[in-house]
Amino acid sequence: MMNKVVSQYLKTDNMKKLAIQGGRPIRNVKTNPWPQWPVWGKGEEKALIDVLNSGVWSYNGPKETEFNKEFAKFTGTAYSICTVNGTVTLQIALEALGIGIGDEVIIPGLTWQATAATVIDVNATPILVDVLDDTWCIDPEAIKRAITPNTKAIIPVHLYGGFADMDAIMEIAKAHNLYVIEDCAHKHGGEWKGKKAGSIGHIGSFSFQLSKHLTAGEGGAVTTDDPILAERLDALRNCGRRPESTMAQSGDKGIGDYGDDGNFIQSGNLRITEFQAAILVEGLKRLPQQNALRDANGAYLNGLIKEIPGITPLRRDPRETQKAYFNFAFRYDRDQFKDLPVSRFRSALEAELGIVVDACYEPLNNCSLYVPHTKPARHKLSEAYWDAIDPKRFSLPVCERLFADESVCLHHKVLMGSQADMDMMAAAIQKIYDNAEELLDQ
């Protein structure tokens, strides 16, 4: 049952003792480090120096224009608009759609806090719903149950290696006249039935923060096919100014409802710099290959670990034609590991592999970084609103179970090495399985 290569790792006597108990780790990261993240090369070096010497460090510069053009092409959308990060992308997406006071936005309870925090920052109400335990993405049935006459939008998050069921979500959205903002912070280049993440809903939101699999340290972009939304988004990231760069992309003269004075909509400065855009142009060239590598390694690794009792890989929906990974994640069942708690399993895996092994995000109904009641001056619009944004009022049993008992997550860089690296990961899990009783009562 066990893969031959995996069992070889575990054959030698000095491999029997778990690393967390002083045994030899499966991977010696001093002599055999994991692939590094981020990845860069001469291209970035040259591009950064070019930007430096050009003196054009920001404001609709050539690198930003080039990246927007390439990223729109890459995502199969008509427009891409860069901004400072993947949080304000969500905020300006909501603003561009006219979502605010009195509106409800349905989001998954398992996501980075920004997905919810931005809804509150535009004075709307986040409605937290549960996820599916096989993909960790928003449950379409839960969306249906949460719809009220005030619902305006859904923000599905394509989490870790999973993809939200966009067929079901777009169908619900159509039936109820709702907007869909895809939070693609984990899904640059992922495809659903041949369509890229960020091209299926009305607006796609991307983050280029350091941990993400296309990065400039910080940064973000929104994508859309709708020229009116594109102009609003463009203005929103540029102090409300007339959206010249979007018009340059579309070649038209602008169709937005801005006035003669050139100003268009109230906003602030959310612009990206040329240095970031230069790095993104280079990074985007590598992304398809990197995604293909992570996809192949992820599929191979899932094939190995699904043979270990108590380990359940994320389900790959057959409609996912290209995987993109932010994390490599799987579920753990302590019943199969002699009742070893998942936190102990994660520590043991960390010791074997020499890399951080995390739980999934904290569910948003009990999340240390999603605490809207700490900011009454901003968020206490009324008593009713104050109650409505209380995260604790939402019940999220699947999110809670994944976080507390089952989730195991590793950074996507673990999928950027060789097949031998995947064998090692599987061997490490198998080693803990074989020795689980050694870790009890400690």
Cβ neighbours for 270, distance < 8 A, ≥ 6 positions apart: 83, 84, 88, 92, 236, 237, 238
Q: Which among 152, 196, 212, 413 is annotated as catalytic?
A: 212
Pick one of 25, 61, 86, 391: the residue that binds ligand PLP (CB under 6 A).
86
Please identify, using beta-carbon distances, which residue of 328 and 345 lies nearer to ligand PLP.
Answer: 328
Give the nearest distance from C-beta 299 to ligand PLP in angstroms: 23
Please identify, using beta-carbon distances, which residue of 219 and 313 lies nearer to ligand PLP.
Answer: 219
In the chain, the N- to C-terminal Cα span, in Å, equals 30
Is residue 105 at the binding interface for ligand PLP, with CB under 6 A as the rule?
no
269 DSSP β-pair partners: 238
3-state secondary structure 263-318: ECCCCCECCCEHHHHHHHHHHHHHHHHHHHHHHHHHHHHHHHHCCCCCEEECCCCC
Give the nearest distance from C-beta 111 to ligand PLP in angstroms: 5
For residues 181 and 164, the answer to whether their CB atoms sit within 8 Å is: no
Q: How far is CA 332 from CA 164, 188, 364, in A?
A: 21, 27, 21
Please identify, using beta-carbon distances, which residue of 181 and 247 lies nearer to ligand PLP.
Answer: 181
For residues 329 and 304, the answer to whether their CB atoms sit within 8 Å is: no
CA contacts within 13 A on the Cβ side of 115: 35
Q: Are strands 151-154 and 179-183 parallel, antiparallel or unpaired?
A: parallel
Stretch that binds ligand PLP, among 108-116, 243-251, 342-350, 386-394 (CB under 6 A): 108-116
Q: What is the DSSP code string of 407-421?
A: EEEEEGGGGSS-HHH
User: How would you class 239 by CB atoms within 10 Å of its CB: exposed for 0-12, middle for 13-18, buried for 19 or more?
Assistant: middle
Judge whether 380 counts as a catalytic residue: no
Query: For residue 395, how far is the Cα from the chain centroid?
Result: 23
Is residue 64 at the binding interface for ligand PLP, with CB under 6 A as the rule?
no
Question: Residue 221 has which token pair?
Answer: 């972009």
Question: Residue 105 has which token pair?
Answer: 């936005």
Is residue 87 at the binding interface for ligand PLP, with CB under 6 A as the rule?
yes
Give the nearest distance from C-beta 23 to ligand PLP in angstroms: 35
User: What is the identity of the amino acid at 37?
Assistant: W
Stretch that binds ligand PLP, among 3-11, 62-70, 81-89, 168-176 (CB under 6 A): 81-89
Pick one of 68, 77, 83, 85: the residue that binds ligand PLP (CB under 6 A).
85
Give the nearest distance from C-beta 227 to ligand PLP in angstroms: 25
Site for ligand PLP in 204-223 (CB under 6 A): 207, 209, 220
Give the nearest distance from C-beta 204 to ligand PLP in angstroms: 12
Site for ligand PLP in 331-350 (CB under 6 A): none
Pick one of 3, 80, 115, 430: the residue that binds ligand PLP (CB under 6 A).
115
**Sign for the pseudo-dihedral over CA of 371, 377, 379, 384:** positive
Is residue 91 at the binding interface for ligand PLP, with CB under 6 A as the rule?
no
Q: Are strands 407-411 and 327-332 parallel, antiparallel or unpaired?
A: antiparallel
Binding-residue total with ligand PLP (CB under 6 A): 14
Is residue 157 at the binding interface for ligand PLP, with CB under 6 A as the rule?
yes
Q: Which residue has the tokens 């009454």?
A: 376
Pick one of 27, 63, 152, 186: the residue that binds ligand PLP (CB under 6 A).
186
Give the nearest distance from C-beta 368 to ligand PLP in angstroms: 16
Please identify, using beta-carbon distances, which residue of 85 and 249 lies nearer to ligand PLP.
Answer: 85
Pick one of 71, 112, 136, 264: the residue that binds ligand PLP (CB under 6 A).
112
Give the nearest distance from C-beta 112 to ligand PLP in angstroms: 4
> What Rg do the C-alpha atoms of the chain give, in angstroms?
23
For residues 63 and 53, the answer to whether their CB atoms sit within 8 Å is: no
Give the nearest distance from C-beta 206 to ligand PLP in angstroms: 8
Question: Residue 347 has which token pair?
Answer: 């520590």
Is residue 297 at the binding interface for ligand PLP, with CB under 6 A as the rule?
no
Stretch that binds ligand PLP, among 10-18, 65-73, 82-90, 387-395 (CB under 6 A): 82-90
Catalytic residues: 212
Residues that bind ligand PLP (CB under 6 A): 85-87, 111-112, 114-115, 157, 183, 185-186, 207, 209, 220
